[in-house]
Amino acid sequence: VSVVLGTQWGDEGKGKLVDILAQNIDVCVRCQGGNNAGHTIVVGGVKYAFHMLPSGLVNMDCISVVGSGVVVHLPSFFEELEDLQKQGLDCDDRLFISDRCHLVFDFHQIVDGMKEGELGRGSIGTTKKGIGPAYSSKASRSGIRVHHLYHFDEFEKRFRTIVSARHRRYGDFEYDVEAELQRYRQLAERLRPFVIDSVEFLHKKLREGKRILVEGANALMLDIDFGTYPYVTSSNTGVGGVCTGLGIPPNKIGSVIGVAKAYTTRVGGGPFPTELVDEVGQKLRDVGAEYGVTTGRPRRCGWLDLVVLRYSTMINGYTSLNLTKLDVLDVFDEIKVAVSYTIDGKEVTSFPADLDDLATASVNYVTLPGWKQSISKCRTFEDLPENCQKYVRFIEKDVGVPVQWIGVGAGREEMIAIDH
């Protein structure tokens, strides 16, 4: 099993690498998150937007599986599938969903907005897709899974119970339970051909020697345990989430590829030590087209933070890195890289748990010279300008992980592969 994970706060460009790797794999799998993720893949000038479905679907020979750890909003599942099929992607008999997936309902989305409202100024910047409340239902053991759809009396009982509990908690918000039950009766039949026991399915593929690629969603700094809590998502976005979200043991995992943007971005609230709220930050946003796939929100931008990347590497054990959007830095005379923080007069080289400590941190940068020329036509490492090569080598040396791929543009072909 090969794994592709985000090293920062998401939006690193994981989908593009997954698309390239999916040309040589048999099964592409999502293991956590929901349709709060967003990947854009450009193939032959056609732009495909993925939110919940594995982006391996772009490869017609690849089977895609939505694994057990993913929370699924069925109307969005079918909407996304229809959009892809309208663009000419035939997904018949090569997209499957685990019978153990928990379901996201419209009331989860309504509640998501209310919860965020309650938090007020301390809001976490949720996408309001109902992901957090669905994981809350799962953790409190009141959730509803895909397999419940096929014992509809049980489904109905659980559904009425969970909605009435939410009404008690949030007041009598408008929600037509009878209409929803009718809708899910129809959705259940529509979903039936897609439903599998994904644990058995994936282990059978492993026994057959098939190559499996796991597509992580979100990123390590949004992990419920290791991210900037509480400004995080509701699932384990690191390598641990691969095992728990798919039922695959650690000894079946081979390569773990960390995708890192050549600078840093973040969406929503929460700490961001290297954030630039000046014209340099705006330049990164404009040149890098830093606006969310799922929400359209402008992303916060800043310099590359090696404290974050080292911390992320410790937890996920990356075997190699994909450095993306390096071409965005073409326009800068000099480029800064964060190497440590100073907190209470002490130098800190790992990422602190306490956000109040982080708020007082000053960032220690190393300044590197820019290369001031376009790298979008470069196809080998040697083609890159000398200062650009030095930037890559600086990152490799600091993090202790080789850079195996470098993104120099949006297209599938605009990726340099380095043979180590």
DSSP code per residue over 35-78: TT--EEEEETTEEEEESSS-GGGGSTT-EEEE-TTBEE-HHHHH
Q: Which two structure tokens, joined as six digits, stand for 113?
A: 């907005």
The single residue listed with the structure tokens 């605009």 is 414
Class of residue 266 by CB neighbours under 10 A (exposed 0-12, middle 13-18, buried 19+): buried
In residues, how long is the chain?
420
The single-letter DSSP state of residue 193 is: G
What letters, b where the CB count within 10 A reaches 16 and e where it falls short, cover 94-132? Answer: bbbbbbbbbbbbebbbbbbeebbeeeeeeebbbbbbbbb
Residue 328's contacts (CB-CB under 8 Å, 6 or more residues apart) are 262, 263, 284, 287, 288
Tokens found for residue 414: 């605009």
**Structure tokens of 123?**
């809001």
The burial of 51, by beta-carbon neighbours within 10 Å (0-12 exposed, 13-18 middle, 19 or more buried), is given as buried
The whole-angstrom separation of Cα 97 and Cα 99 is 6
Per DSSP (E only), the strands in 84-150 are: 95-98, 102-103
The encoded tokens of residue 268 equal 């929503």
For residue 8, which of 230, 402, 310 has the smallest C-alpha distance?
310
Identified catalytic residue from 39, 73, 102, 108: 39
Asked whether the beta carbons of 370 and 329 are under 8 A apart, the reply is: yes
Q: Is 11 a catalytic residue?
A: yes
Is-contact 291 282, C-beta < 8 A?
Answer: no
Annotated active-site residue 333? The verdict is no
CA distances from 356 to 116, 361, 419 (A): 21, 9, 43
Which residue type, as a one-letter code, is found at position 127?
T
Q: Which residues are catalytic?
A: 11, 39
